[in-house]
Chains A and B, each alone.
Chain A
Amino acid sequence: MTDLLYSEIEEELRSSVRALLADRCPHESVLARCETSEPYDRKLWRTLARDLGAASLLVPEEAGGAGASAREAAVVAEELGRAAAPTPYLGSAVLATAALLALPGEDETAGLLADLASGERTATLAVPLSTAPGTGAFPTSVRADGAGTLNGTVTSVADAAVADVLLVPAEGRDGPGLYAVEASAAALSVVPRTSLDLTRPLADVTFAGTAARRLAGPEEAPAAVERALLTGAGLLASEQLGIAEWCLESTVAYLGDRRQFGRPLGSFQALKHRLADLWLDVVGARAAARYAADALATGDPDAPVAVAVAASHCGESAVRAAEECVQLHGGIGMTWEHPAHLYLKRAKADQIALGTPGRHRTALAGLVDLPAPTA
């Protein structure tokens, strides 16, 4: 059976990331940053990627990475979720990296992969963040012409605003392909959107005859994009676990502390029972997220089921935890000053990101042979 625990190395990695985030990513600074023109913390990301190797975990050593796996990457995702950290981890170290890893390691691909792993450069996969794995469709609204230039718009792309390179699924004359576009390219516009999630802002990306390099054609591109989406959804479940854990812990601490009617609020049974149920949700989220990370790490054929279960459960648990966090904090939970809203916004956006829980359950219907009614 799959290993659902955390290894010592994973716990050490967690401690380093947590310590760095405690030091460099307190809630006040996340809040202060999110309404500026620099919502991403590039300096924090450089430290995470270069000093802690957080961007290199999925990449084999011979390709310039740390030779770890989705299990370790999931631990980093948990910690980034716990801190609601504004970094391009999901876009660059997960989605773009997983797509490149699924391609044959030709020089150009290998060079970019090594740059992403070292934190030298940052990339993202140019799909709407709401794109789900397992639909069988190639997610693109971009056309590629014979000369290798791209036309079209991709809306709601995560981490595009700080990406040095965009990996663009596009439909060419001979079918689907995956293209690389430099952020500095002419005829490219990246327009930030006002996003629900303040800590992972989105952008609309428009290609108007933009020069691009084709990294993969119809043979490899669909599988590479699918692998990226599956890996993304699986690791997002760990981020959602981190969000839920922070919400539960901070709510428990607050209710133990806050007194009304002459008693700590946490002594009221009506509130205790809600937190007990929430705790149970989080315990389940941890088991499901670990199973998904392990299945991705070991190449288990059960990975699509594992990811669908984790995405479905963790997506809902994170939202419930964040909603309970706001409610049980009472008035202070409604303020801009208190960080609860950062988690509520991240949780709600994550619920849609890479497939809603409902879409993942629909995918399960096919995977485990529980077909929908035909009429």
Chain B
Amino acid sequence: MPPANAPVTDPDELRRRTRALLAEADPAACGRSAFLRARYDAGLAWVHFPHGLGGLDAPRSLQAVVDAELAAAGAPDNDPRRNGIGLGMAAPTILRFGTEEQKKRFLRPLWTGEEVWCQLFSEPGAGSDLAALATRAVREGGEGSDWIVNGQKVWTSSAHNARWAILIARTDPDVPKHRGITYFVCDMTDPGVEVRPLRQLTGEAEFNEVFLTDVRIPDAHRLGGVGEGWKVAQTTLNNERVSIGGQRMPREGGMIGKVAATWRERPELRTHDLHRRLLSGWVGAEVVRLTGERLRQQLAAGHPGPEGAGMKLAFARLAQELSGLEVELLGEEGLAYDDWAMRRPETVDFTGREAGYRYLRAKGNSIEGGTSEILRNIIAERVLGLPAEPRVDKDVPWKELAR
């Protein structure tokens, strides 16, 4: 018998455990929430997480085995799109940098979706240059006392639904900018947190501005050391880029499917110029799909390639090209827009709305989660090994930087 906490690496063992879970916690009988909690406790939530934290220390690739069993049984899932930031960014960061207490407290309701998370990173004065952020966190008393936070955050999706936020704030303005940042978990129900919708060019408000006024955060909700927030944030941001543009796609999945369908159904819209561009776009979509597939195969084989850094860049370029083409293909109909009404959607739905929405929303693909320009810098420096641009802000205390 292997020790109880040994990594589970046998797919059949995972199948056996999944069937045992379904027998013990029949979702039809016990309800969705109870089933999800039982799934977490059985280590079948994210199998690559540790024992006791929703996983079995299994290889990440074996998640598909569990998911397939559960899907075949018609079991409810944790609606991952509703808590993308929690699952994709907060969870891996808490796992890597959190205390045992923090992991026990936060990860279970995060995974089940009972507690939604948001991310308080970007600020009006700190976008691509995130490390320039100005939100201040000051200790109320001595070491171990609460932190009092003041500042403004922006581009916060799900803030209006979120129970918790991952937050980075400046705790030492006297050192260079990357060194004076600390990473916290912020309670979104604190009376000092004010969330205002930020209406975007599509008409709706996926995002928010968040004003923080004397928000109190216990020191026990600090993730990582004081002044080490930038290092911690790198984990979050790297995971963000994996979660954007990293989904598996069938051929003609996504934007190209919409354009191709319109092309097939509406011969009267066809022109030679559009045909040429459609075929280029089709090839582009297929190449991005194959690149993503190859990346996943590398990950599954245990050899993650640097290709991940390029996926978001490729995806953004393609989505923008194809959504623009679709509006143009529609001709007169492309002059219309489905609805400018201000709404607060919980998820981005590229396919549920009309072409004009897709065109406008795709503009965000090259901005959110790292602009395409920043991604090109990352590829050039970290993948290709080109030298960094000379920096004027690296060794200067944050408070002396021009703002």
Which A positions have Cβ atoms within 8 angstroms of B? 1-5, 252, 255-256, 263-264, 266-269, 272-273, 275-277, 279-280, 283-288, 290-291, 308-309, 312-313, 358, 361-362, 364-365, 368-374
Stretch at the interface among B82-90, B334-342, B359-367, B373-381: B373-381
Q: Answer whether residue B288 sits at the interface, using C-beta atoms and an 8 A cutoff.
A: yes
Seed contacts A266-B387, A280-B313, A373-B267; 9 additional CB < 8 Å A-B pairs: A5-B298, A266-B386, A272-B376, A276-B310, A276-B313, A279-B384, A285-B287, A368-B282, A374-B270
Indicate if the CB atoms of A361 and B297 lie closer than 8 Å. Answer: no
Indicate if the CB atoms of B384 and A252 lie closer than 8 Å. Answer: yes
- Given A4-B293, A373-B275, the answer on whether A276 and B264 have CB atoms closer than 8 Å is no
Interface centre among B276, B278, B284, B310 (most CB of A within 10 A): B310
Of chain B, the residue at the smallest CB distance from A360 is B283
Indicate if the CB atoms of A277 and B376 lie closer than 8 Å. Answer: yes
Number of interface residues of B (CB under 8 A): 44
Indicate if the CB atoms of A364 and B279 lie closer than 8 Å. Answer: yes
Indicate if the CB atoms of A370 and B298 lie closer than 8 Å. Answer: no
B contact face: mostly helix, strand, loop, or mixed: helix
- Given A5-B297, A276-B380, A312-B283, the answer on whether A252 and B386 have CB atoms closer than 8 Å is yes
Indicate if the CB atoms of A287 and B291 lie closer than 8 Å. Answer: yes
A-B contact pairs, 25 of them (CB 8 A): A1-B297, A2-B293, A3-B297, A252-B386, A266-B387, A272-B384, A273-B376, A275-B386, A276-B380, A284-B287, A284-B291, A287-B291, A288-B286, A288-B287, A288-B290, A290-B294, A309-B286, A312-B283, A313-B284, A361-B276, A361-B280, A372-B272, A373-B272, A373-B275, A374-B270
- Given A309-B286, A370-B279, A372-B272, the answer on whether A252 and B310 have CB atoms closer than 8 Å is no
Task: Specify which chain A residues have a CB less than 8 angstroms from the CB of B388 in the assembled complex.
Answer: 267
Which B positions have Cβ atoms within 8 angstroms of A? 260, 263-264, 267, 270-272, 275-276, 278-280, 282-284, 286-288, 290-291, 293-294, 297-298, 301, 307, 310, 313-314, 373, 375-377, 379-381, 383-390
- Given A1-B293, A284-B288, the answer on whether A372 and B377 have CB atoms closer than 8 Å is no
A contact face: mostly helix, strand, loop, or mixed: helix
A358 to B376, CA, bound (A): 28
Indicate if the CB atoms of A264 and B387 lie closer than 8 Å. Answer: yes
Indicate if the CB atoms of A365 and B279 lie closer than 8 Å. Answer: yes
Task: Specify which chain A residues have a CB less than 8 angstroms from the CB of B291 in the assembled complex.
Answer: 283-284, 287
Task: Specify which chain A residues have a CB less than 8 angstroms from the CB of B278 in the assembled complex.
Answer: 370
Of chain B, the residue at the smallest CB distance from A248 is B384
- Given A267-B387, A283-B291, the answer on whether A364 and B283 have CB atoms closer than 8 Å is yes
Task: Specify which chain A residues have a CB less than 8 angstroms from the CB of B279 in the assembled complex.
Answer: 361-362, 364-365, 370
Task: Specify which chain A residues have a CB less than 8 angstroms from the CB of B276 in the assembled complex.
Answer: 358, 361
Task: Specify which chain A residues have a CB less than 8 angstroms from the CB of B313 in the assembled complex.
Answer: 276, 280
Of chain B, the residue at the smallest CB distance from A374 is B267
A256 to B380, CA, bound (A): 11
Task: Specify which chain B residues have a CB less than 8 angstroms from the CB of A2 in the assembled complex.
Answer: 293
A368 to B278, CA, bound (A): 12
In the complex, the 7 A-B pairs of residues with the closest C-beta atoms, listed nearest first: A272-B380, A373-B270, A276-B376, A287-B290, A266-B386, A276-B379, A361-B279
Distance in angstroms from A205 CB to nearest chain B CB is: 34
Task: Specify which chain A residues have a CB less than 8 angstroms from the CB of B377 in the assembled complex.
Answer: 269, 272-273, 276
Task: Specify which chain B residues have a CB less than 8 angstroms from the CB of A283 in the assembled complex.
Answer: 291, 307, 310
Of chain A, the residue at the smallest CB distance from B270 is A373
A235 to B301, CA, bound (A): 25
Of chain B, the residue at the smallest CB distance from A364 is B279
Task: Specify which chain A residues have a CB less than 8 angstroms from the CB of B280 in the assembled complex.
Answer: 361
Interface centre among A275, A284, A286, A370 (most CB of B within 10 A): A284
Distance in angstroms from B314 CB to nearest chain A CB is: 6
Of chain A, the residue at the smallest CB distance from B388 is A267
Indicate if the CB atoms of B294 and A361 lie closer than 8 Å. Answer: no
A264 to B314, CA, bound (A): 27
- Report which of A1, A279, A287, A313 forms a contact with B283, defined as CB distance below 8 A: A313
Indicate if the CB atoms of A279 and B386 lie closer than 8 Å. Answer: no
